[in-house]
Structure formats: C-alpha cells, structure tokens
Structure 1
Amino acid sequence: MVGESRDAMDPPKEEKLVIRKRTRATGPRVKTGCLTCKSRHLKCDERRPTCFRCERGGLNCAGYGYSLTPKSILGSSSPYSVTHIPSPLRDHEALLPKESRAIEYFHVKVAPHLAGHFHQRFWTEGVLQMSARHVAVRHALISLSTMFETDLLRHSLQDVPKEKEQYALETFNAAIRDLLTMLHDPTTVYVPLAVCIIFVCLDSMRMNSKAVVKHVEGGIMLLNMWFRHQQRRLPLQPSLTASDKTLMEEVLIPIFTWLGMMATTFGRPGLVLDPGLTQPISDGPAPAMESLEQAISVFMRDVTEVFGFSAAMAEMKFQSTVDDKIIAQHERLQGAVHNWKVDFDRMVSKKWSTWTPSSMLSIGMVNAIHLSIRYWLEGCAAPTESIWDDYKSVYEEILGLVEDVVQSTRMVPEHRVRSFHFEMGYIPPLQFVLWRCRYPQIRRKALRILRDLPRQECLFDSKQIAVLYAQVISLEEESLGIPLGETPSDDQLPPESSRIHRIDFPPLPPTSRGRPVNFLSRPNGLDGGWHVRSQYLGLKEMEFLRWFDMKSGTI
C-alpha cells in the first residue's frame, strides 16, 4: 500500500491470494429479438417487420416468432401455437451434434434461400415448427440441409466429404420410414405434405424428374383424399385446428397447385387438385390481401384454372366454331386475373411504407409473372401464332422487371453460387417471352438473361431451357435466309408457316443421344395438319449440348 516499504531482500510474508471473478452488470435476459439474430448470438435492434441489423448485413430477417397466424386464432393444442412449439434451436440439446448442426444450418442458410420471394412462412417458420414435433419432418429437413451444403461445396469447386452425402441419404431413408406411420391420420395431413415438398427439393437437386413427379403425385393424391374425408367427416370426428386450416389454405395448397402444373410439364398430365381445394376452406368470406404470400395464394387459384383452360384450348382453338360456354369462361378468367391485379396494386399502395428492398424485388417478380399469365390467357385461344406479335411492349416490360430482380440478386455473393431454388420465379416469364415473342432483338435478350442465370427452379433448369428455345429460334428463322451467325433486323419476323405451335416431350426413355423432343408447326395453314420435326436434345454433364435430327413428317 502507499506509505509502506519493505526491504527487497526480506522474505515476503505469507499472503492469501484472492482472485476476483470479472463481472459485468447485467439486466434481465432479453428473450425478444428476431430469430436470425438469436441464432447468430447477436443483439437485435428489434425493428419491425425486419430488423436493421439483418437488413444492413444482407440477411433474411426470420421475424420474431414461429406463429403462422395471430395468437387470437391459435388454439393451445395447435401444433403451430407459439406457446406449444419450442424453438427448434432450443431443442438442439436433445439431438446429436451433427443433427443439431444440420438444423441450425437449415435455419440460418437454407431456409432463407429456399423461401425466395413467395414461400417465407413455409420454409422459415412452418417446416421448422413441424421438425420440433415430428421426426419425419426433422429427418427430411436434416437430409435437405446436408444435401444443400454439399451442393454449395460442389458449386464452389470444393471437395465434398463422402460422409456428408452418405448422411444425407441415411436421413432421407429414415424420413421415409417415419412417414409410413402418419399417412392415414387426417389431423396431421400437413406432416406428410411437408415431407413431400422437402423430397421434391431433394430429388430436384439430383435432377431425378421421375422421383419428383412421384412425390408431387403422392402429395396431390393425399390432399384430394383428405378433402374427400373432410366432406364426409361427422361433426364429432377430430379435424384440423384453425391455424392448420390457414396453413393448408394459404401455404400447402398453393404450393401443390404449381407443383402439379410442373408435373404436367414433365410428363404427368391430368395431375390436378380437387376443384374444392382451390376454394377457401376457412369459414366466412375470403380475407383481404395482407401479404405477398397471401396474394400469391389467391393468384394460384386463378392460375390453376388458366392452366386448365389453356391446355383445353390447345386443340379446341383450331375448330371452326367455339362453344359459347368456352367464350364465357375465357372472359370470366380474364376478369378474375384483372381483378386480382387491382386488389394486389391496392395492397402494395396501402402498405408502401412497410416494404423493404427485398419486398420491392418480390413485387417486381410478381408483376412479371402476372404479365406472363395475363397475356398468355389473352392469346391462348387464337389459332394463329402471329397474334403474339401484338405484345411487343409487354415482352419489353417483362424483361425489364426480370432484369431488375436478377441484377439486384447478383449483388448477394451467395446467390451467385447457389443454383437451386424451390420456387418458380424468373424462368416462366423468360420462357413466355422466348416462345411467344418473335422480335429478334427482344428474343435474344431474353436468351442472354437466361444463359447468364445459373439457376434451377425445381425441375426447370435455365441451361436446358436456354438450349431448347435457342433451337426454336433457329428452326423458326431458317426460312428468313439470314447468313449463319447474323441476327435478323427487328422487322424481320418468321412467317406463320415456320412458327412452332407446340413443343412435346414424348414419354420415351432417353437414349445415348439424349432426350427426344417434338416441334410441331403448320406449314400448310390451319387446315393442313401438323408437321412434326423430332430431334434429340443431347446433354452431357449439363455443359455440352447438341441437337440431333431424328425424323420429320406431317401428321
């Protein structure tokens, strides 16, 4: 102490050494904050609807709870109740370390990526909640998380440990075994449906189209069986809770609606939901749009009928007369698509101050999809392909919207290496422009965007579609006599006689040359029958692509 001295040679007196622990002032532990900041062990500023820390870091803010609906409509026994469902991140103590790591990786990395523009609630909330209670969902989620990580490593040109791939397969098989015990319980129908969706992602990443179609077929059959069971259900029999009905109506049914349309494209026609499922299952009038996901849910009901109408018109439009009922249905559908857009624009305007930059990109994507559906519906009843030449400004608007979203997405480094996406977003509008637009410059711009987009949306692969429509352009422009390698001027459109009306993928197995494709045109006019040009689309390691002529003839 100050004022005392001691000779340096004197032995020190025995003193008791006291080590005081360093302490810091703490208040009550904060249990609020967004789920993303919690999982990263960071302090959250708790700004709503998304926190500033996540927005500044370019992360997807996972929100402030797992509830799919307001607390007022959640029953205490609901598997989606905030009080009933523990956070999967808190339940990690009961799991093996690699299981816990896979679930946390899914929460932080995989779920925000798969959620995309339109499926936030399913991937960032619903499937995580279900994984906390149902082992089938948990195993499927772990398998997808592990597969997604190996896919990321592969695209980053890194070595993929064999044990990771093996673990993904093991948990995939475990999910199948777990699922078999739940298929006949109507009160937990959402569990096998969620597992089906996860399986669709897994086999889409493997490019196993047959398995994907089987998963979609199983999910739609299960939904239809459940709906028929609900119609026959006695008053005292157990049923879904209010929150489960919301999950089914606003999340799962819209997802399986467009999955069914995808399955039709890949060789499973007629795979549709029961018409009753596309109507609200909840009692009372349909709620007003309050979110982008809810808007997409409503829109998909119209798109389902548009898709069916377009398929029916593929042959009917060549008949000399069209039934008045078909004309009335066409007008009604056009009115429904128009009214949806009016309601959507009203919601966007009403909530303008709440939209984040990410939300604005989503709104642009919705507008591009809407334009594609609206004008596809408008022109699909015309027998001639030249009708599509009237929509030049529409094609330009679609490309502008898609290009804005693509450019903004490229600013996020992770999006440049991750090619797999669950939702169908960019590819369908680009495909619409590539097929229906015959203006050379616009068409080639759409092709460039698609080629520069290393993206897979479920089974729709940007590389394959770019090659397919590059061939359509080549076949249609043959008659123009343009030297090889030169681009026609913008007023040089292919004649009606050389335009491709349909593209068919016959149910034939691939050969060593590739997958057979039929291109159908009407070179002799509407009464001259179909001319079929069959070719093989050769794919080697998804990089080297070549066309082989198979046959050509008139039917």
Structure 2
Amino acid sequence: MARKGNRKVRTGCITCKARKVKCDEGKPSCVRCIKTGRVCDGYLLKIDVRDPVGSRDATTLTLHRPHHVFPGANSSSEGHALQFFCETAGPLMSGTADPYFWTNIVLQFSAFEPAVRHAVISISDLFQQSYYTPESNAKIRFDDQTIALKHYNNAIHGLKDIKSEHKESVVLLVCVLFVCIEFIRGDREAALRHCTHGVEILKTSPQHAWTQQHLLPIFRRLNEFAFFFSDENSEFSDISDLAGPIPTTFSTFSEAQEMLDGIFNHTTRIMRSSRKSHSLPKTASGMFEPQKKISVFSQYFTDKSTISRLLNTWLKLFSEFDPKMTELDALAAKHCKYGAEYGLKMYRCFLLTRYECCRIWLNIAFDDPKSGYERSVDNFDRVLKQLSWLESQIPHEGPFSDPVSPPFVFETGFGANLFFLVTTCCDLEMRLELIRLMSIFALPRENLWEKDVLIAAAKKIIEVEHGTKFEDLAQSPTAPSYSEETPTEDEDEDAEAEEEPDFGTPEIWAEQGESQDGSGTGEENGAHKSGKVLRRDNLALFGSYLMILNPFMSGKIGS
C-alpha cells in the first residue's frame, strides 16, 4: 500500500536528522531547534546524483560552486573572489589590529548589501593580483583592473539603493571599503577624499552603538592617516569629541588600542602645532636656515599636560591588563597550533611601541630635537629591548613564520612607527638598530606607507645628518646588540639562566628609575653608552620635524 502524506525529504538540518524529527528548514538555523533550545548544526551541501548522460541511477557527485556558497554572488568569478577574501585577504587585512571587522562584519554585510559585496569583490581582485605577484618590491603593479573597477563602480551606484534602517552605518562601512580600494591602488588623493567624507558623515549621523564599537575606531586611525598624508596646511575634522569616557579597565587588546589611538591623534595634533610654530625658511641655495627660538601659547602646554596624564592612565590600565594576556599566551601555546601565542606578543609590543612614540613626541614638541632626545633615551632603549625580544619569539612554523609577507595591510603597523623613531633619535647606534628592526617587522605596504621608501628615507637622513655613507656605518663593528641585557655589578650572580623578559609588565618602566610620566632625563643612560655618535643638528637637513610631518619628502630622497 502506498505511503500517505507528504513525500519524505532529506534536506533538513543535521540536528533534526539526528533526532529523527521533521525540520522546518529555516535558514540559517531552523525554528524547531531554536524553540527547543538546541544548537542547529546547519545543513549539508546539496549534491546532484546524476549521470552525465542523464541517468537517474548514476552516482556522479557535483559539488557546490563558490557562487552558490556565498549568497548574492551572481557568477563563479564573484564567488571565487568572495572565497579568496574570506580565506586569505580578510584575515590578513587588519595587520596589527583586531581582524574581526574584516573577517566577520564585512562578510556578513556582503551577504545582503550589494554595495558591500561589490566593494569586497573589488578589494579581493586587487589583493589577489598583488598577492601572487612575484615582485618583492612594495610598489604593487596590476595587470588588469577592469574587474576591480567594474565592481567599484557598481558599489558606488549601489549606495543609493541601500534600504537598511541604519543607512548611515552601512554607508560608513562602504566608505571604509572604498578607502581600502584606493589604498591598494595607491591613490592618495582619492583615499583622502573618502576619509574626509566618511568623517563628516560620522560626525553628523546618529551615534548608534554598533557604529561606535566597530566603525569609530577605524575612522580614528584613518584620521591619523589623513594627518600624515594630507598637505601641511590642510584642515581635517577632529573626532575626539566622539570618544566615550575613559575606561576603568581593559578586557581586550582592542580596548587598549582604541584608547591609545585617541591619545596618538592628540599627540600628532601637538606635533603639527609645533611644526607650524617653528620657522624654517629656505636660503637661496635651498638649504634650511637654523631653527629660531619661538614663543608658544600656554594652551599647547596645557594640551601636553593632558596627554601626559592620559598616557599615565593608559599605562596603568595596560599594566593591569597585561598579566591576563600572559595567561592567554600560555593557554595559546598549549592548545593552539601555528604559533598563535606570537600574535598576542606582537600586539602587545606594537601597542607599547606606539606608547613610546607618544612619549617621545611630547618630549620634543616645542623644543629642539637634541634636548628632547636627551629626555627620551630611556624610551628609545625600551623600544629596542621590546622588539629585540619579540624578534627572538618569532615562531619557526605557522603564518607568522611565512617568509612571504602579505603585500598589503589596511592598518598602519610597525613600519611607520619605527620610521618616526629613527627620525627623532640622535644616537647613531640606536638608529642603525631601528632600521634593522624595521626591515624585520615592517610589511611591504601598510595602507600608503611603503617599507622600501621608509627604509631608504631613514638611511638618507642618517647619511645627511651624520655626514657619512650608510654602507660605511652599517659595516661598523661597534653596533650593540639589544637582544640580551648586560648584567650590572649589583645583579644576582646566581641568575645565570636568564629569564625571558616580559616587556608588558610594569617592571620595564620601574627598572629604569624614571618619573611616573615617563619623561626621564636619560642622562645616566646616555652617559654610559660606548661609541655614542650623535647627529650634527646644525646639518640636519631632513630634521625630525620635517620628516615626521611631511613623509612625502621621502619620495624625493635618494635621487
């Protein structure tokens, strides 16, 4: 007798199949599982059991193509582009920042917002061309941008069709993707325009919690990019008033970075004011005249004091947070493969390097570079120790040991920060070591910062300011190693087995015996260094103020 009722199907979710109950096949999770409090394990990929000539009894397997897996993809090429972004480009895009925005949020929105999907496909196509380019130099060359530009234009046209309830948030997300496209293409002016428009929308649109959490931190760092890459006399919007209250504790690296990014932006504004306050007229021969004594407004010193207090607060919170991350280091080393614990160490050292940059800039603001350097010797020394330690922690296997670095990352990483330190440092030995570390930790392209250009500019600065050829300096045998501590006479002689230094703990500052604001005089450390060679500031053609605040001069160096 024939079975009554509906035809039995086998397309239900995995959980309902295991329970042998009827599934309503809701996507992405079925309603039956949700109502009963169970976790819906999703659905198996469909397969076609068909013979090539049409026989129903054959068992030829046809797998799903990528454009079937990714919702909204209209062709296999779009599906492959989304798959490449999901597996390769997205996880690499963040560099030294939390990748969640690229690996989760962007992909989620690409499933139902055509403008986001087209922008992601454009990014993926450009990234894929650069990723498989055999050239090792930072200048990315593209064989064909037709597909990327086509989807870029489609994304622009798709902005007017966004029907989301919070349209401003989606537009801001797409704006970030547009900036990324222009970063990869190397179009500075277009990237700056998108940054400017995005910041204006951010300041005038309602402040949704989602925007504050995921988009505001990115635009804060883009504001930093606009500061360095815009014309010196350009004005850009201040978004510091959008920041929330000062946190009382850090629970993630992202929270620590968010607060430090705000402080970094404040510090760069101080440096810009300092740069404008210094008179550097050119002579008839094109040389810069010596810096003149200036008078500065009391407001600048008030801002400097405010930033110093914020840095003290950040350091205190980070010192309390760091032991928790040390426990995660041990947990990652025990349970994770591919040297996952190294990523946590890298994030920690990156934040501490940024912190020291802010301290050093405060020391040299409205002062001559030599005096500011003398107050910052301890800061430079800590950076070198931190990064030398991090170098010793690079794993021998896994993604961080891959000799092929990603050709591009969206965020500013070690490269630009180490370049800032090279230009503000006076000690030749430290400068040579910073350049060596830059060659290790800098990536080929960090948004528009190019590793090769930064290193070439740093070398040229050293040549001009020290009056010699870099090749001769690099071969000097007097350069010290910062990878190991030199024991002092009063250290315990029994401690022959040197412990691995934890550069995230408060002891790294306490052992230097400096003041709480981190601005020690550095006289003792500076006096004991052997072979110390300071630059001749009267010949500092490419002085620190110029190189920090006008990095495009580096493109004119070496010709």
Q: TM-score, structure 1 length as denominator?
A: 0.66
Residue 347 (structure 1) aligned to one of 306, 321, 325: 321
Letter in 1 for 2:148: A
Letter in 1 for 2:237: V
Considering only aligned residues, what root-mean-square deviation do their CA atoms show, in Å?
A: 3.7
CA drift of 1:414 comes to 4.8
After superposition, the C-alpha distances for 1:442-475 in whole angstroms (9 at most, x for unaligned) are: 2112223334545211011111111222221122
Distance 1:162 1:347, change over 3 A: closer
- Any residues of structure 2 matched to 1:403-552 within 5 Å, and which? 403-405=388-390, 408=394, 412=399, 414=402, 416-451=404-439, 453-478=442-467, 485-486=472-473, 490-499=531-540, 500-503=543-546, 517=553, 537=556, 546-547=558-559
2:422–2:435 contact (8 Å) kept in structure 1: yes
Distance 1:498 1:296, change over 3 A: same
1:155–1:417 contact (8 Å) kept in structure 2: no
Partner of 1:211: 190
Letter in 1 for 2:229: F
After superposition, the C-alpha distances for 1:304-351 in whole angstroms (9 at most, x for unaligned) are: 222212211224476654444432321121011110121122122235
CA drift of 1:107 comes to 1.3
Distance 1:363 1:27, change over 3 A: same
User: What secondary structure sits across from 1:502 in the alignment?
Assistant: helix
CA–CA distance in 2 between the matches of 1:493 and 1:473? 10
Answer 1 or 2: higher relative contact order, Cα 8 Å, separation at least 6.
2
Partner of 1:399: 384
After superposition, the C-alpha distances for 1:487-524 in whole angstroms (9 at most, x for unaligned) are: 687322123322324326999xxxxxxx9839xxxxxx
Residue 272 (structure 1) aligned to one of 237, 246, 252: 237
For the pair 1:168 / 2:211, whether they are aligned, the reply is no
- Any residues of structure 2 matched to 1:150-299 within 5 Å, and which? 150-155=129-134, 165-182=145-162, 187-226=166-205, 230=206, 245-268=208-231, 269-279=234-244, 286=247, 288-299=249-260
User: What secondary structure sits across from 1:216 in the alignment?
Assistant: helix
Distance 1:486 1:27, change over 3 A: closer
Distance 1:132 1:313, change over 3 A: same
The structure with more strand, counted as a fraction of residues = 1
CA–CA distance in 2 between the matches of 1:423 and 1:166? 26
Letter in 2 for 1:466: I
Letter in 2 for 1:343: L
After superposition, the C-alpha distances for 1:370-400 in whole angstroms (9 at most, x for unaligned) are: 1112222233232343421343342232134
2:415–2:443 contact (8 Å) kept in structure 1: no
1:193–1:219 contact (8 Å) kept in structure 2: yes
2:182–2:191 contact (8 Å) kept in structure 1: yes
Distance 1:102 1:462, change over 3 A: same
CA–CA distance in 2 between the matches of 1:89 and 1:439? 59
Distance 1:375 1:163, change over 3 A: closer
CA drift of 1:188 comes to 2.0
For the pair 1:359 / 2:344, whether they are aligned, the reply is yes
Partner of 1:334: 308
CA–CA distance in 1 between the matches of 2:179 and 2:431? 31
1:250–1:297 contact (8 Å) kept in structure 2: no
1:121–1:251 contact (8 Å) kept in structure 2: no
Distance 1:186 1:314, change over 3 A: farther
Distance 1:199 1:482, change over 3 A: closer
CA–CA distance in 1 between the matches of 2:222 and 2:414? 16
Letter in 1 for 2:553: V
CA–CA distance in 1 between the matches of 2:438 and 2:141? 32
CA–CA distance in 2 between the matches of 1:163 and 1:428? 28
1:434–1:443 contact (8 Å) kept in structure 2: yes
CA drift of 1:193 comes to 1.7
Residue 104 (structure 1) aligned to one of 74, 80, 83: 83
User: What secondary structure sits across from 1:130 in the alignment?
Assistant: helix
Letter in 2 for 1:457: E
- Any residues of structure 2 matched to 1:360-379 within 5 Å, and which? 360-379=345-364
Q: TM-score, structure 2 length as denominator?
A: 0.65
2:129–2:142 contact (8 Å) kept in structure 1: no
Letter in 2 for 1:291: T
Distance 1:90 1:331, change over 3 A: same
Structure 2's unaligned 5+ residue stretches are 1-13, 19-40, 43-66, 279-291, 333-340, 479-530
State the aligned residue count: 412
Structure 1's unaligned 5+ residue stretches are 1-25, 31-63, 66-87, 231-239, 508-514, 519-535, 539-545, 548-555
